[in-house]
Structures are given as structure tokens and as C-alpha cells.
Amino acid sequence: MAESSGDQNITFADLGVTPRVATTDSYFGKRRNFSDLDCWEIIFLVSSLVGLLATIGLTIERIIRIAQIHDENYYIDITFAVLILINSVFIIYYTLDGVFRERAYELAVFIIAVSIIIIYCITNYAGTFQEGQIDAVKTARLVLVIALGPLNIVLGIKLTKQYYESRNLIFRTVGANTELQDMCSLMFFFEAY
């Protein structure tokens, strides 16, 4: 059937539906808007940021306490504390960038880092516990890591799998060309590691 000259295609605007912008351009490339995040992504962001900010706070408190004591293990303790502090700042970046830019590889780095922190906190506390010196900060850090670490790992794996399989932001960035999508995914891999 041929359309008559008076017939026009109906658009979303004609129906009163305004399209939602899912991505915005930033200095670092396309990123998703907060309104585009689903429930699991918000839970992951909140739990990981709470845990990371608490870790940073406990680490700063530990650095201050180490600086006041200044015993024979001063340089070893201060080195580990500074490494945890720097690691936590980078994990915050990888968490935010991984979710808002759908970077599966950056969330994989987050999962590895949280796993290392869990192992470190458990072994560090076990050594302190065997010596008979219960430290309140180490106990708080262990409880925090045991409470939030597994949740962050499980949600991180779920989101990593989701981003890797869907490639939504890659599609919105380079289009439907699978060769360009593969190149973009490879570039994201090398950016994360």
C-alpha cells in the first residue's frame, strides 16, 4: 500500500514519550548516566565505596599510630600501610570507571584486588592473634573485609560477566561493526592492565 501524502510516521514525540539519554560524552570518552544504572550496579557501588572509604580511614589511622610508635618494624609497617592506601585509591577509580563506562576488565582488577586484601587481612589478623595481641583496628578491618568483601566479589563477577557479554557501551561507542567492537574491547583490556 502506498502512503498518501497526508500520512506521516508516528514518532515517540507524537506519543508524548521523550527518549532517555543513556550516555554522555566526557573528557575520558562515553560514560553512562547514574539514572541508567540498575539496582545491582547501585548496590555494588555503594557497598564497594563504603568498604573502600572505611579501608582508607582505617589505613590513615594506622599510619598515624605507626608514626607515633616508631618501633623496629616502622619501615615495614608504614610501607604496607601506604601500599594499601594507594591501592584503595586506585580501586575506587577502577570501581567508578568500571561501572560508569562498563569496563569488564577494570571490574576484574577490582575483584583481584579485593581478593588480595581479604587474604592479607586474614593472614595479618591471624599473625596478630597468635601473638596474643588483639588490635582493635585490625579486628575492625577484618570484620569489614569479611562482611563486604565476598559481597563485592560476587557482585563484581556478576557485573563483569554482564558487561563482557552485552558490550552495550562498546556498541554505543563504535557501532555495529564487530571488528571495531573487538578492537575497542582489546583496547579496554590493555587500559585496565
Task: For 56-80, write each residue's pLDDT tens digit.
Answer: 998 888 888 888 887 777 777 788 8
Render pLDDT for 135-187 as a digit per residue (tens, 0 to 9): 787 888 889 889 999 999 999 999 999 998 888 877 777 878 888 888 888 88
Render pLDDT for 164-177 as a digit per residue (tens, 0 to 9): 888 887 777 787 88
pTM of the model: 0.76
Q: Whose CA is closest to 121, among 102, 104, 93, 143? A: 143
Render pLDDT for 2-34 as a digit per residue (tens, 0 to 9): 454 556 777 767 767 666 666 777 777 778 888
Task: Output phi, psi for 19, to 5 deg.
Answer: -70, 145
Three-state DSSP state, 29 = strand
> The cell 591471624 sits on which residue?
126
